[in-house]
Amino acid sequence: MSDAESMMHGGFVSALDLPDVPSSKLPHHLDLRRTRVLCNSVAPDNTDTVQYSGAYASMGVDNSLRLDDFRNNFKVNVNRLTADEMEFDMVGVDPSLANAFRRILLAELPTMAIEKVFIANNTSVIQDEVLAHRLGLVPIIVDPRHFDYLSENDRPNEKNTIVFKLHVRCKKGDPRGTVKSDELRWLPKGSEFLKESGASASNTKAETYTSFNFSQDSMPEFSDNPIGVSPGIIVAKLAPGQEIELEAHAVKGIGKTHAKWSPVATCWYRMLPEVVLNEDIKGDMAEELVKKCPASVFDIEELANGKKRATVARPRACTLCRECVRDDEWERRISLCRVKDHFIFTIESVGALPPEVLFTEAVKILEDKCERVISDLS
Amino acid sequence: MEHASFGDERNATFGITEEDHTLANSLRFTLNQDPRVIFCGYSIPHPSDAKVNIRVQTTGEPAREVLKDSCQDLMLMCQHVRGSFDKAVADFKKNNSSNKQSSKDMDTD
Ligand code: SF4
């Protein structure tokens, strides 16, 4: 333990005995407050970040942003990556930025989702509007970057709409049936339902609800990669004799408008927990400490003389439940902190795009926002 | 979008439409880290309006230029984040494809 640390945790030390503070470096106790959230048994303390550039001006410490410093300090480390989930550490970034990425992932990254449902027949017990809502929430597995937004005056065409068809029937005498999302069939040529009111007998081609110029499966990105939906989701139940026939039109949108367009099931971060033992914890006390922690953060190490000492073996597993600091005497022995600029970021994709692509797209969106402000100001 | 009193470019409020905490809080961070900024903060006048006001007061430079620089900084930071992230993912994929069978279903992009 260094001088400064023992001062922090020990008793009173005269100011005259303090070592000189080297300029351009913060003294330990201030640096601790700058970089850590202190998780005391009563409540977390010191939760805000010091953003103002001149916060430590009187100590000769510059708190302003230097891009080179940011570049040197910023680190990313991937812990886990699968087709639809990833966890990574992001170090050296302010919470405002980490939160911006999280907010964009949740609410501002576009995906495709069913927006209009044309119901030709529905004799099931599920009402039309409930059925339409359920269909809207079914994730569509397609890269939204191949599509445009459908604006109010646009006709739905092959660049902005995906059409699915659902036609299921439960025959009389059959057992009750379950309709799953797998039964949604992609119609690459667009809608098959004819518009009634048009009465356009003069037109050679009868009008449908979409006007596709060509079939979507002739597009190179979909030719050998048909558009599907997330399988296995229960959409409705049918009793014998009931039938559902409908057409669902998916368009591009963002999670801000409706959560069905959110590309992530969820996306969150937590700050890195830090558990520090302020004194050696030995013997029975060590056993007690290991038993206290529900996340098994602590381990016991055997010392050479046959004694036992507690160690912090798995600080990342700490959930900050604060069980270990509940008693006063234990609060003195253990410091629980969170590192303010170390984020453990988790992204769970619903399947349209892999999680690592989602994150880069989110960062790009924040860049676009800045660009827009710059061009507005110029 | 800029509201400043005539002849005093150092202090201004910028109203940005179609934005929320996502951009405003990030910009507040970069602005606060700029030594030329004396004060900055943002507010959302009404939760139903898609609009934020960002207040910037500087030591002498026009607030508009300082805000522009901050946007520039934020963009550069984002680019660096993206670059580091892509590199970390590529490294992870490389390390894991050599010792894992299941790496095939990870290369979905
Ligand atoms: S706060 Fe809870 S999880 Fe963390 S070390 Fe203490 S007892 Fe374990």
Same domain, A255 and A132: yes
Residues A132 and A84 in one domain: no
Strand A185-186 and strand A36-39: the pairing is unpaired
In a domain, A348, yes or no: yes
Q: Is A320 in the pocket of ligand 1 (CB under 6 A)?
A: yes
User: Using N-to-C axis directions, what is the helix angle for B63-99 and A355-377, rounded to 10°?
Assistant: 170
For residue B106, the model assigns a pLDDT of: 46
Of A260, A278, A293, which marks where a domain is finished?
A260
* B16 exposure class (CB count in 10 Å sphere: 0-12, 13-18, 19+): buried
Q: Helix-strand-coil percent breakdown of chain A, rounded to 5?
A: 30, 30, 40
Same domain, A280 and A251: no
Residues A225 and A314 occupy one common structural domain: no
The CA-based dihedral angle spanning residues A15, A17, A20, A25, taken in that order and rounded to the nearest 10 degrees: -70
Q: Of A120, A83, A348, whose CA–CA distance to A244 is shortest?
A: A120
Among A260, A289, A324, identify where a domain stops: A260
The answer to whether B94 contacts chain A (CB < 8 Å) is no
- Asked if the structure places residue A176 within a domain, the reply is yes
Model confidence at A21: pLDDT above 90? no
The bridge status of strand A44-45 relative to strand A36-39 is antiparallel
Q: Is A319 in the pocket of ligand 1 (CB under 6 A)?
A: yes
Tokens of A244: 């559902």
For ligand 1, atom 6, which residue shows the shortest CA distance?
A324
The pLDDT of residue A56: 87
Checking if the pLDDT of A1 tops 50, the result is no
Residue A60 lies in a domain: no
The pLDDT assigned to A202 comes to 53
Distance from CA of B84 to the nearest CA of A (A): 6
Angle of helix A355-377 relative to helix A95-107, nearest 10 degrees? Answer: 110
Closest atom of ligand 1 to CA, residue A298: 5
In angstroms, what separates the C-alpha of A265 from chain B's closest C-alpha?
18
With the most atoms of ligand 1 within 8 angstroms of its CB, the residue from A39, A41, A271, A275 to mutate is: A275
- For B67, name the nearest residue in chain A, comparing CA atoms only: A374
What is the distance in A from the centroid of ligand 1 to the CA of A333? Answer: 13
Which residue is closest to B72 within chain A, CA to CA? A370
> With contact defined as beta carbons under 8 Å apart, do B66 and B56 qualify?
yes
pLDDT of residue B8: 86
Quote the CA–CA distance of A84 and A347 in Å, as a whole number.
8
- Residues A330 and A230 both lie in one domain: no
Question: Which residue from A63, A366, A374 is facing B68, i.e. has the nearest CB?
Answer: A374
CA distance A360 to chain B (A): 6
Same domain, A49 and A151: no
Are A87 and A210 in a shared domain? no
pLDDT tens digits for A347-372?
999 999 999 999 999 999 999 999 99
Q: What is the CATH number of the domain that holds A256?
A: 2.170.120.12
Four-point Cα dihedral B104, B106, B107, B109, nearest 10:
150
Name the band, by pLDDT with cuts 50, 70 and 90, for residue A153: confident
What pLDDT score does A127 carry? 95
CA–CA dist A99, A218 (Å, integer): 40
Contact A96, A341 (CB under 8 A): no
Phi/psi at A273 (nearest 5 deg)? -75, 150
A289 CB less than 6 Å from ligand 1?
A: no
Q: Which DSSP letter does residue A225 get?
A: S
- A45 with A119, same domain: the answer is no
Check CB contact under 8 Å for B72 and A88.
Answer: no
Per DSSP, A214 falls in state S
Inform me whether the pLDDT recorded for A174 exceeds 70: yes
Q: How far apart are CA A114 and CA A281, in angstroms?
A: 59
Cα–Cα distance measured from residue B10 to residue A376, given in angstroms and rounded to the nearest whole number: 18
Question: Is there a contact between B67 and A83 if contact means CB atoms under 8 Å apart?
Answer: no
- CA distances (Å), origin A71, targets A65, A74, A93, A356, B77: 11, 5, 10, 21, 8
Mean confidence (pLDDT) of chain A: 89
Going residue by residue through chain B, which has 109 residues, state the pLDDT in tens, using 9 for 90 and above: 777 777 788 999 999 999 999 999 999 999 999 999 999 999 999 999 999 999 999 999 999 999 999 999 999 999 999 999 999 999 999 998 876 544 444 444 4
- Cβ(B54)–Cβ(B27) below 8 Å: yes
- Residue pair B13/B55 in contact (Cβ under 8 Å)? The answer is yes
| Residue A223 is assigned to a structural domain of this protein | yes
What is the average pLDDT across A216-240?
90
In a domain, A376, yes or no: yes
Instruction: Write the CB contacts of A91 (distance below 8 Å, at least 6 apart in sequence).
Output: A73, A74, A75, A76, A77, A341, A342, A343
* Shared-domain flag, residues A235 and A122: yes
Which residues span the domain enclosing A99?
Answer: 32-55+66-109+262-378
CB contact under 8 A, B22 and A371: no
State the residue for tokens 């999680």. A355
pLDDT of residue B104: 46
Residue among A71, A83, A377 whose CB faces B68 most closely: A377
Average pLDDT over every residue of A229-239: 94
> How near does any CA of chain B get to the CA of A48, in Å?
12
Residue B109: per-residue pLDDT: 45
How far does the centroid of ligand 1 lie from the alpha carbon of residue A331, in Å?
A: 12
User: By CB neighbour count within 10 A (0-12 exposed, 13-18 middle, 19+ buried), where does B18 fall?
Assistant: exposed
CATH label of the domain that carries residue A337 = 3.30.1360.10
What does the alpha-carbon distance between residue A293 and residue A320 come to, in Å, rounded to a whole number? 10
The amino acid occupying position B89 is V
Please indicate, yes or no, whether residues A174 and A303 belong to a single structural domain of this protein: no
Cβ contacts of A354 on chain B, cutoff 8 Å: 106, 108-109
A74: contact with B, CB 8 A cutoff: yes
Q: Which of A84, A96, A102, A372 to mutate against chain B (most B CBs within 10 Å)?
A: A96
Beta strand A85-91 with A334-349: parallel, antiparallel or unpaired? antiparallel
Residue ending a domain, among A212, A241, A260, is: A260
Confidence of residue A121 (pLDDT cuts 50, 70, 90): very high
- A248 and A313 inside one domain: no
Number of domains in chain A: 2
Q: Is A53 on the interface with B (CB under 8 A)?
A: yes
Cβ–Cβ gap A373/B71 under 8 Å: yes
Give the model's pLDDT for residue A218.
87
- Cβ-count burial A185-200 (b if 16+ within 10 Å, e if not): ebbbbbbebeeeeeee
Tell which residue, A217, A305, B63, B47, has the closest CA to residue B55. Answer: B63
- Residue whose CA lies nearest to ligand 1 atom number 3: A318
Residue in the structure block whose two tokens are 């929320």: B20
- CA A106–ligand 1 middle distance (angstroms): 30
> Does A324 sit in the ligand 1 pocket, CB within 6 Å?
yes
Judge if A38 and A99 occupy the same domain. yes
Predicted TM-score of the model (pTM): 0.88
Q: Please say whether the beta carbons of B70 and B30 come within 8 A.
A: yes
The pLDDT tens digits for A74-107 are: 999 999 999 999 999 999 999 999 999 999 999 9
Cβ of A275 below 6 Å from ligand 1 = yes
The phi-psi region of residue A351 (left if phi > 0; otherwise alpha if psi is between -120 and 50; otherwise beta) is left
pLDDT (mean) for A165-180: 94
Inter-chain residue contact A78 with B19, CB threshold 8 Å:
no
Q: Name beta bridge partners: A167.
A: A245
